[in-house]
Amino acid sequence: MSAQTDWLSLLHKAGCRVTAPRGAVITAIQQATRPLGIYELHSLAREQYPYLGLVTVYRTVEKLIELNLVQRIHQPDGQHTYLPVANPNQHMLLCQGCGHVAFFEGDISSLAESISRKTGYQLDLSLVQFLGLCADCLHQTKE
Amino acid sequence: MSAQTDWLSLLHKAGCRVTAPRGAVITAIQQATRPLGIYELHSLAREQYPYLGLVTVYRTVEKLIELNLVQRIHQPDGQHTYLPVANPNQHMLLCQGCGHVAFFEGDISSLAESISRKTGYQLDLSLVQFLGLCADCLHQTKE
DNA sequence: GTAACTGCAAACGCTTTGCACCAAG
DNA sequence: CTTGGTGCAAAGCGTTTGCAGTTAC
């Protein structure tokens, strides 16, 4: 999706400073193919900026969430993981058993509209997450 | 939905003991019209069983989740709240801005089937949660 | 009687905060 | 130069664990 430079200039436009520690965190999270925990992000980003502190990872991720570039995922075990926001037609499927994540590509705008009409809730399509159970966990539960 | 006695007998059938502290927690959570936090549950249940310890609330809720009677909701601020599981056609809409919860009544089995076909994920319809933003929070974000 | 449950206190782990120093603009 | 960002250490807070006493069955 967006290149690192995009995120950095977005940061800049938002009135934030562009620093090496932030660049390292951004690089790390943009490479993510699955939701990464804070410690994973920390050690990944340290490959690029070794003196990076854990607190800076928290603060940078917070900023990126504010800017709608990153979303936080609550894993079933209570841990938080982070992932770049998907495009509007790509929806996350979060397994509440094992925390595994898959993506579902499909247009759900009609469903979203129906929900909005009935409840007043406006789904932000790039933020919608479907929670359920992956095939493995479903079998374990219903044994 | 289910009366308290049902839950107690389900507990019993699952090999757990039926105790006064658990009864108090169950009463409290069954009365919930919105997701309740641990401390809310604790003080509510204490009206029925004053010596109730916080740890017992945690442990009872955990048991009820195992038995698929209660589900845990991750609020945007990181707090956990708890709610009896809804029926298969009633789906939760969780606002990721303020944590407010609404319900959407509708049959999404065809969407669930489509998702299952494409990804292998099997949505448990009584566990599906739609995450997004309520009208208020959407306006705040997009100002 | 025995195994599960309870409550307390302490431990635990993730996250936030205070503060002095540093660097972007 | 000024303000925001950084790293460290400590505090904070929700949650879990160890343990001795208690209770369901």
A132 in Cβ contact with B91 (< 8 Å) = no
pLDDT for B93 equals 93
**Residue B97 pLDDT greater than 90, yes or no:** no
The DSSP letter of residue A133 is B
Residues of chain A (55-114) having a beta carbon less than 7 angstroms from strand D: 55-56, 59-60, 63, 78
pLDDT for B72 equals 93
Q: Enumerate domains of chain A plus CATH numbers.
A: 3-82 (1.10.10.10), 86-142 (3.30.1490.190)
Query: For A115-128, what is each residue's pLDDT tens digit?
Result: 999 999 999 898 88
Query: For B23-80, what is each residue's pLDDT tens digit?
Result: 999 999 999 989 999 999 999 999 999 999 999 999 999 999 999 999 999 988 888 9
Query: For B101-119, what is each residue's pLDDT tens digit?
Result: 999 999 999 999 999 999 9
The residues with which A92 forms a beta bridge, in sequence order, are A103, A129
The whole-number Å distance from A114's CA to C19's C1' is: 51
The whole-number Å distance from B61's CA to C25's C1' is: 52
Query: For A18-66, what is each residue's pLDDT tens digit?
Result: 999 999 999 999 999 899 999 999 999 999 999 999 999 999 999 999 9
pTM: 0.89
Q: Could you tell me which residues of chain A have a Cβ less than 8 Å from any Cβ in chain B? A: 68, 74, 78, 80, 93, 95-96, 102-106, 108, 111-112, 114-115, 118-124, 127-135, 138, 141
Residues of chain B (8-27) having a beta carbon less than 7 angstroms from strand C: 16-17, 19, 21-22
Cβ contacts of B124 on chain A, cutoff 8 Å: 132-133, 138
B54-66 helix and B20-30 helix, angle to the nearest 10 degrees? 70
